[in-house]
Amino acid sequence: MTPKFILRFDDISPNMAWSKFSAFDALSREFNIPLLLGVVPKCLDPKLAVEPVRHDFWDVVRDWSARGCTIAQHGYTHQYVTRCRGILGVGNKSELAGLPYEEQLSKLVEGKKILVQQGVWQPVFMAPAHSFDEVTLQVLKELNFLHITDGYGVYPYDIGSLRAVPQLFSAPKHFGFGVYTICLHVNNMTQRQVENTLHFVRQHKDRFISFNDAVNISCPVPGISLAIRVITTCVLRKIRNLRLAKAD
Ligand SMILES: [Zn+2]
């Protein structure tokens, strides 16, 4: 099996870097590539406000949804309130992990309510800062979420009651098989990174699939999927935490 890719964008919010995102949007329309878009229901994170607000924000999200993009709920307000790294064991901040059930539930209920009111909610979750815990998984089950974009490995796997599609790299790297979620934060991308990613997508446009198609991919060789997940968990955790230590 040749590798497949998903193009994932975090931090979709009214004040995001539209000037950088627009080239990806145009490319996805040109080649009919459905994007995975992590929409912050009620963004109160000042770090995500980098360009003037788009007042037609929800019209734009509805348009993406109508043309087959996957809309994932990216937390609620995107404000980090704990230093909990969650199940994946990376980072040192979270909007949810470490909080009691009732608090996580009320945040995600409010977030879901906004997306439902805007007509764009789908049963897909994207955790801010990749940080969620066992309690988050219980809350997601309660709110009828089915899928999550995160975790190690190169094939979809089950976590709690959810089906997860892994997310390893922010660059288009791969091992020659499996499914890879390329995780992009346009607010922080340089023009060069934008150009390089656009080039890769153009070169491999037939290998880009929707998140919903990725959910149904299974590993052709039993046992390999778990083995790769264990290996990538160990290696990437070390690398990510080393980076974090350097950044601190
Ligand atoms: Zn985020």
Q: What is the CA(78)–ligand 1 centre distance, in A? A: 7
> Which of 150, 138, 148 shows the shortest CA–CA distance to 103?
138
Distance 182 CA to ligand 1 centre (A): 14
Pick the more confident residue, 169 or 96: 96
Number of C-beta neighbours around residue 189 at 10 A:
18
Delineate the domains of the chain, giving CATH numbers in brackets: 4-247 (3.20.20.370)
Q: What is the pLDDT of residues 57-76, one digit of tens each?
A: 999 999 999 999 999 999 99
Q: In angstroms, what is the span from residue 195 Cα to ligand 1's centroid? A: 22
Q: At 10, is the secondary structure helix, strand, or coil?
A: strand
Residue 87 alpha carbon to ligand 1 centre in Å: 17
Cβ(21)–Cβ(186) below 8 Å: yes
Could you tell me the distance, in angstroms and rounded to a whole number, from the CA of residue 52 to the centre of ligand 1?
A: 18
Distance from Cα 27 to the centre of ligand 1, integer Å: 23
Q: What is the pLDDT of residue 246?
A: 58
> What tokens appear for 41 in the block?
């229901």
Residue-wise pLDDT tens digits, 82-121? 999 899 888 889 999 999 999 999 999 999 999 999 999 9
Residue 248 has pLDDT above 50, yes or no: no
Q: What is the H or E stretch that residue 22 is in?
A: helix 18-30
Residue range 20-43: mean pLDDT, rounded: 97
> What's the one-letter identity of residue 98?
G
Q: Is the predicted pLDDT of residue 45 greater than 50, yes or no?
A: yes
CA of 194 to the centre of ligand 1 (A): 18
**pTM of the model as a whole:** 0.93
d(C-alpha 200, C-alpha 171), whole Å? 10
Q: Is the pLDDT of residue 247 over 60?
A: no
- Name the DSSP class of 69: P
C-alpha 16 – ligand 1 centre gap (Å): 11
Q: What is the pLDDT of residue 174?
A: 86
The predicted-structure confidence for 181-207, as pLDDT tens digits, reads as follows 999 999 999 999 999 999 999 999 999
* CA distance linking residue 89 with residue 91, whole number of Å: 7
Query: Mean pLDDT over residues 169-179, rounded?
Result: 86
| Distance from residue 11's CA to the centre of ligand 1 (Å) | 5
Mean pLDDT of 163-178: 88
Q: Is 147 helix (H, G, I), strand (E, B) or coil?
A: strand
Expressed in angstroms and rounded, the spacing between residue 36 Cα and the centre of ligand 1 is 13
Q: How far apart are CA 38 and CA 175, in angstroms?
A: 25
Give residue 43 CA to ligand 1 midpoint distance, Å: 10
